[in-house]
Chains A and B, each alone.
Chain A
């Protein structure tokens, strides 16, 4: 009996000691109280550039969550060109002559540039004037050499071992010339490039790259080594692999707004379900996960945290594969798209946590972008108009309309609706299409797939639902996605008139004309019922209310686009 008591005592003392030791831990403080959710973000829809503004006080640490472990540091490399790494380096690398701001527009980076203007349309010539004070943190000026290095490593010609994420635009440049001690850069294009504002960012220091071999070797070195250099408001001072990146203010920062935070930490949490508990426990102060009902409801319960749902650049769509002989018939495709009710789809899926979502009516521009034009409503697609769809089929010679549809040649009309396995939202969408298309007599079988890439490239699908992510530089993207011969045109829709318009839009010096061409091309595609845009996916940002100047930026730059302005609210 005495032994028993002794052993229990030992265990009790051990557990108590462990708890006591941990209780003495130097934590960063408890959660703040308050319970004002979303008040500071309330006007972000109307004032995307200034909402949640405020005066900051010196000091403090903000921990921001990213969801991927760092696989490389060269953001221009295909391997490392991911959203999360871009966010980490937003405050370290010069983001380029233009910044993707929350209004989804490229805005002149007035810290880095004095001006960036198109001075000639034939040949297209852009003159960049760099801020005379702009320099890397070792004192070397940011100059034309950095532009030239970027051009040569990304054009797909000068560096055979470089693996750029995209050569678009760089492969159309004729020359990059420096003058005025390298502070003026003149870029002349071989063929016009509409999206020229998207070039030359993020920028790497050529003088450091040159110390590590030729273009190919330095490109790899930049990817493999954590930056100690900086041309932005912050410099990386700590990196715990797979855990965090710590940044402190760059003393040589030349921009107008000096960082007020003592430290900025990017915490890696690879399972987004664990982000909310970490936020609630004040281990992180801001999160930017993919929106879903569970996460939003959990965040609503946390005192002192505000949140916002924004309009993202990711959009869901239903694609038809024209390699399927039945799908080659435009009338059938039009009937399918007309039968689908997008409002019902939204209300049964994403609308449950974001009532502001409406059907998307363009394949390139998002509603919150300049140039957005509704090309879908006039076609009647996505409205759930079964009667119209039936009349389309009857007029085209289909039989068994509403019971067991057969093509004019007598073939039964049945399709697979493919969705990525485990994606509940897309599974629900396919099941809804199955029910809706039953009204036409079309048998749809929801089919899970394990590899979206393999399925798309092999063309082993009839209908498929997935998402594209847009950038503010849509012209070159649209050209590569929708062109008849493009490898990304998975459903093999072809149209020579659309091809000409897409090319003209991507290679134009007149922005307004490019927008018109692209929307004209889009109208042709919409009329042909090839891809049905469903909805714009929402973004979700949550942060403690004592952090100011943080706001959503749905572009590839992310909320840290203005990281030098982030700070603790001055009381």
Chain B
């Protein structure tokens, strides 16, 4: 298992390097990060432009710029200078990742619980009214654009607030700037009020796909020989369902969930934009807007590492869920 893990980690290093090179070239080709300064009226003095170019390393050739970035990262853990001068890319990624993690954690929790419950029930009660209902809602959430759903949910939240004459739901940020009820309970309710709408948006988007996976997987397992055997042996249906069927059915869901969580941590871009959460999605947008190659490479490195890590976790979890699977 350890050798397998080490091998997987080592294989990922050239993948990460290759992707940073690709992203570096793409960002460089997208334009000049100093464009907004150069286009000012009146224009800044040439010395100012030169100082900025030097600070960002733009006065060097592309290969040298990339090499210096890589050297700084490996030797000093430095992600390079950001276009926005007060930003430290390392701490920026850290703080943005934390914001996204909070959002993703609760969304995934809700989505997984709902997906497993409805998926199992749909499979057990195949072609029943319950199955058709969950299928309908599954496809509904699957087909709804996240951006549109988020805007719609915001409107509902505002409508609700206006009807109860209280700010129950918030539409921007992860907490209020000014809190009237400045107590621990006040802080908890404030954070919860900010989390409800984006969590529902992100959670339902994940739920829709996962419930279909669970249903399909459960149906396959429920029709397998070992489940029939378990029933024939006279085991209680709850025990058959949970211990023999669900455990096996969770294996494909584990893969999908692990990859989806990794993708979400890389940036739930649309949800974060609509609700103005300063997470990884916002950081990605900022790096694009600023044409900031260092920031984009840092973002990519962290996001790609998370994807690889969760991929690895999924592989390792197979062994836990099904002892027959062994990693040689």
Contacts and interface: CB of A to CB of B under 8 A. Distances in A.
A240 B172 CA distance: 14
A31 B170 contact: no
Contact of A468 (B41, B157, B167, B182): B41
B135 to A, nearest CB: 17
Given A166-B42, A477-B42, A11 B189 contact: no
Contact of B38 (A29, A166, A243, A457): A457
B180 interface: yes
B41 A26 contact: no
A256 interface: no
Interface stretch (A65-73, A174-182, A378-386): A65-73
Interface stretch (B46-54, B62-70, B252-260, B294-302): B46-54
Given A166-B44, A453-B31, A453-B32, A72 B85 contact: yes
Contact of B84 (A18, A24, A72): A72
Contacts of A488: 41-43
Interface string B243-287: 000000000000000000000000000000111101000100110
A73 B178 CA distance: 22
A224 interface: yes
Contacts of B278: 69, 241-243
Contacts of A468: 41
Contacts of B114: 11
Contacts of A21: 188-189, 192
B39 A452 contact: yes
B32 A224 contact: no
Contact of B180 (A3, A28, A71, A244): A28
A22 B193 contact: yes
B154 interface: yes
A4 B121 contact: yes
Interface in B208-238: 238
A481 B38 CA distance: 12
Interface of A: 3-4, 7-8, 11, 18-19, 21-31, 61, 63, 69-73, 78-81, 156, 160-161, 163-168, 223-224, 238, 240-244, 246, 263, 265, 267, 269-271, 274, 277-278, 280-284, 450-454, 456-457, 468-470, 476-477, 480-481, 486-488
24 contacts: A11-B114, A19-B168, A25-B167, A27-B167, A28-B176, A30-B165, A61-B178, A63-B177, A70-B86, A71-B84, A71-B86, A79-B37, A163-B51, A163-B52, A164-B48, A269-B276, A271-B276, A274-B172, A274-B273, A274-B274, A278-B171, A454-B35, A456-B39, A487-B46
Given A25-B166, A280-B158, 15 more contacts: A11-B113, A24-B189, A25-B168, A25-B190, A27-B170, A27-B176, A28-B176, A163-B52, A165-B48, A223-B86, A271-B274, A281-B171, A282-B167, A481-B42, A486-B43
